[in-house]
Amino acid sequence: MPRPISATVHAEALRQNLARMRRATPDARVWGIVKANAYGHGIERVFEGLRAADGFALLDLQEAERVRALGWRGAILLLEGVFETRDLELCSRLNLWHVVHCDDQIDMLAIHKTHQPHRVFLKMNSGMNRLGFAPARFRAAWTRLQALPQVDEISLMTHFSDADGERGIAHQLRAFHEVTHDLPGERSLANSAAALRHGDDAAVRADWIRPGIGVYGSAPDYPEHDISHWGLQPTLTLASRIIGVQQLAPGDTVGYGSSFTADGPLRIGVVACGYADGYPRHCTTGTPVLVDGVHGRLVGRGSMDMLTVDLTPVPEAQIGSAVTLWGHGPKGAVLPIDEVARAAGTVAYELMCAVAARVPFNTSE
Ligand SMILES: *Cc1c(COP(=O)(O)O)cnc(C)c1O
């Protein structure tokens, strides 16, 4: 028997989360964001659930080829554009739309030979200072692109740094509007947080939204709001089983470093899941977990292949009992990945992307 750990991707949850994003942003079209192998879920595994998207957005040309290989003939957007001139040949061949965020990419387009002009998304750096043209240089870039025979339609985009937090998006929205208000073309601004929190504002939802994390069942502004507040469902479950049980006496310790000491008699379960499966080592005593669908907690520090859980809430638990590290558990129980990420001092994005190659994946409806 293989080690009893597995990950499951839930197609129906993806479908419902995508529909939830649409309801938050009436009339906007939706990019299904499948970069980083669909936030660790696997592009091929999420494709059915995200079929209703208006397009797929990603970073990697190989990922674009995989989406085309699935039979997708609709729009695909390269979120960082091309990295070298010959990437444009594949863009032409696969009919990809691509971001243009710097002058080098315009130079590459200018020497590219194509019969079919490209649709591009010109990106403004409205304050995040990652990719994009500064507002003062944006119109010059637009004018240059407009003059190229290699370019068909020019759409406009920017990305928010604080849509999930206190600073908000108003300053970036203003910078974007000031420079672009009289330019033609479609617009795309909103990530999941902006779509959920500001989707009622037509200037924010614009023509295309770009929701990633919300579609994957994490609340973008957790812990201010959780997935039940936003009406989202987990799309990824990490599950395993108890492979050992220990009865501790008062004063007994657990695991490497003896970071946990029992203050009374305590029954613990040893679970086949560790940091070599992608479960964060920073999760220690108190991290939530489900045993047979009952909410409980980790005790002690997890190791490479195992972690330990307090069995007090489930006295009937034994070797073979089901453990849910995050996602959907037995009996309708849910453990949002956001709660585990918080216990690890990180965000759900990182946990999703980190599930290790040795963990077998399933898909379910
Ligand atoms: C990843 C990404 C998104 C999606 O962001 P979420 O916070 O996951 O919704 C949107 N736009 C761009 C440019 C991205 O790189």
For the Cβ of 217 lying below 6 angstroms from any atom of ligand 1, the answer is: no
Task: Determine the Cα–Cα distance for residues 86 and 2; give it in Å rounded to an integer.
Answer: 44
In this prediction, residue 238 has a pLDDT band, given cuts at 50, 70 and 90, of very high
Question: How many whole angstroms separate alpha carbon 255 and alpha carbon 274?
Answer: 12
Torsion of CA 64, 65, 68, 73, to 10 degrees: 50
pLDDT value of position 44: 98
Average pLDDT for residues 246-267, to the nearest whole number? Answer: 97
Q: Which domains does the chain have, with CATH numbers?
A: 11-220 (3.20.20.10), 236-364 (2.40.37.10)
State in Å: Cα 363 to ligand 1 middle. 24
How confident is the prediction for the chain on average, in pLDDT?
A: 97
47-87 tens-digit pLDDT: 999 999 999 999 999 999 999 999 999 999 999 999 999 99
Answer yes or no: is the C-beta of 78 below 6 A from any ligand 1 atom: no
Q: Look at residue 241 and tell me whether its pLDDT is greater than 90.
A: yes
Q: Hey, what are 44's tokens?
A: 């091929």
Percentage of the chain surpassing pLDDT 70? 100
Q: Is the CB of 145 under 6 A from ligand 1?
A: no
Q: What is the pLDDT of residues 291-332, one digit of tens each?
A: 999 999 999 999 999 999 999 999 999 999 999 999 999 999
Please compute, for residue 224, the number of CA atoms within 13 A of its CA located in the half-sphere on the CB side.
Answer: 9
Ligand 1 centroid vs 210 CA: distance in angstroms? 6
35 is catalytic: yes
Burial class (CB in 10 A: 0-12, 13-18, 19+), 182: exposed
C-alpha 300: how far from chain center: 29
Mean pLDDT of 337-359: 98
Q: Which of 35, 39, 123, 349 is catalytic?
A: 35
* Closest residue CA from atom 6 of ligand 1: 212
Structure pTM? 0.96
Does ligand 1 lie within 6 Å of residue 123's CB atom?
no
Statement: residue 1 has pLDDT above 90: no
pLDDT at 2 over 90: no
Average pLDDT of 115-139? 97
CA atoms of 221 and 197, how far apart (whole Å): 9
State whether the beta carbon of 17 lies less than 6 angstroms from ligand 1. Answer: no
> Nearest-5° angle of CA 56, CA 61, CA 64?
30
Helix, strand, coil percentages in the chain from 3-state DSSP, rounded to 5: 30, 25, 45
pLDDT of amino acid 194: 98
Q: Which atom of ligand 1 is nearest to the CA of 216?
A: 8
Which member of 113, 123, 256, 275 is catalytic? Answer: 256
Place of tokens 């977990």: 289
